[in-house]
């Protein structure tokens, strides 16, 4: 081993790589069967309007309970699903499940709750994506207006002309569109203004230290102003403290999402949150 060879860094480097590759392959293989084994579920995190403290939407976040163990992190397995192409069938399941849940909430009387669904690069660039969304809306009976699709800033800017065309198709279905992780990619403002979107999501990396770091506060404030001038709603992600909320309110941010209000939770727990807050 590396130790015996006097800490041969090349050998320990390759061992490290091998371990990483093995881990990746194990996850990919597990993910291949995750759907049929019913290991996937969606959790829902409330989005709260600052002005009236009401939940007006949720974000669906994928959870994978692997071999009966704890949840693996989507930050780890979504890239693997993306790379392997498994995101296509999994993404279809996510979209259908989220729309069915949103429809169920509409029927149950929680009739102002928007369902935001994360869309990965490969899904968004798939030639049949708009068709899939249209079919899913039709089959689940969800009013399009209650569906919001989130694409990240980097995906949106990757081929911006093509993005505009796809976003227009999607927008014509009557749903809403938002730009996720805003501020972490390279946005061209001339493209941003042409995107038919309704919302910007300020990335949580800026919100995290905005109370102590004046640069992060300045960036957050600027994104909010940018959103306002483009007539977009702005939501801040990763809000964990009352101090962050107060500052966001001062900056005139529209909505917040974060552990301060709730972690992402299973549908039944979300319903409890909705019931309590609506009394
Ligand atoms: P994202 O779309 O930006 O989602 C926000 C992430 O921040 C979620 O992590 C959420 O649990 C976490 N979060 C929310 N509030 C707080 C907070 O106050 N503090 C902190 N520290 N974190 C908070 P999660 O669920 O682990 O997902 C990570 C990323 O994985 C997502 O980032 C998204 O890019 C991707 N992802 C998750 N679910 C899906 C999905 O269904 N489809 C696709 N394509 N990607 C997904
Ligand atoms: Mg909303
Ligand atoms: Mg998101
Ligand atoms: Mg985000």
230 HSE (CA, 13 A, CB side): 22
Predicted local distance difference test score (pLDDT) of residue 279:
47
- Do the beta carbons of residue 156 and residue 179 sit within 8 Å? yes
Q: 109-135, pLDDT tens digit by residue?
A: 999 999 999 999 999 999 999 999 999
Can you tell me the mean pLDDT for 33-59?
96
Predicted local distance difference test score (pLDDT) of residue 132:
98
Tally the residues of the chain: 279
CB atoms within 10 A of CB 121: 15
The percentage of the chain sitting over the pLDDT mark of 70, rounded to a whole number, equals: 96
- Do the beta carbons of residue 29 and residue 87 sit within 8 Å? no
Among 59, 120, 203, 237, residue to substitute to test ligand 1 (most atoms within 8 Å of Cβ): 237
3-state class (DSSP) for residue 201:
strand
Note the Cα 196 to chain centre separation in Å: 18
3-state class (DSSP) for residue 51:
coil
The rounded distance, in Å, linking the Cα atoms of 8 and 88 is: 42
Give CA angle at 15 (9, 20), nearest 5°. 125
CB atoms within 10 A of CB 135: 14
The percentage of the chain sitting over the pLDDT mark of 90, rounded to a whole number, equals: 85
Of the bound ligands, which one is closest to the alpha carbon of residue 60?
Answer: 1
224 lines ligand 1 (CB under 6 A): no
Ligand 1 atom at minimum distance from 82 CA:
44
For the cut 60, the answer to whether the pLDDT of residue 3 exceeds it is no
CA-to-CA dists, residue 61 to 54, 97, 224, 249, angstroms:
20, 11, 24, 25
For the cut 60, the answer to whether the pLDDT of residue 6 exceeds it is no
- Complex confidence, ipTM: 0.98
């Amino acid at each position: 081993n590396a130790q015996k060879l006097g800490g041969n860094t090349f050998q320990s480097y390759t061992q490290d790589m091998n371990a990483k590759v093995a881990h990746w392959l194990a996850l990919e293989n597990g993910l291949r069967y995750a759907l049929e084994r019913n290991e996937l579920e969606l959790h829902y995190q409330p989005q709260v309007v600052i002005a009236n403290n009401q939940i007006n939407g949720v974000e669906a976040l994928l959870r994978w309970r692997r071999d009966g163990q704890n949840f693996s992190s989507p930050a780890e397995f979504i890239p693997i699903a993306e790379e392997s192409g498994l995101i296509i069938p999994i993404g279809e399941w996510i979209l259908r499940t989220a729309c069915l849940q949103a429809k169920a909430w509409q029927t149950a009387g929680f009739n102002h709750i928007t369902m935001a669904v994360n869309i990965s690069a490969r899904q968004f660039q798939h030639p049949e994506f708009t068709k899939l969304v249209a079919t899913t809306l039709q089959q689940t009976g969800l009013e399009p207006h209650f569906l919001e699709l989130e694409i990240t800033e980097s995906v949106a800017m990757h081929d911006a002309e093509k993005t505009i065309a796809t976003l227009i198709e999607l927008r014509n279905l009557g749903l809403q569109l938002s730009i996720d992780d805003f501020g972490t990619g390279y946005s061209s403002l001339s493209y941003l203004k042409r995107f038919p979107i309704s919302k910007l999501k300020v990335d949580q990396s800026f919100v995290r230290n905005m109370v102590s770091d004046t640069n992060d506060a300045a960036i957050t404030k600027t994104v909010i102003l940018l959103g306002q001038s483009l007539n977009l709603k702005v939501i801040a992600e990763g809000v964990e403290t009352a101090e962050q909320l107060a500052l966001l309110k001062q900056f005139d941010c529209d909505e917040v999402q974060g552990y301060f209000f709730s972690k992402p939770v299973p549908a039944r727990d979300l319903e409890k949150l909705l019931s309590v807050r609506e009394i």
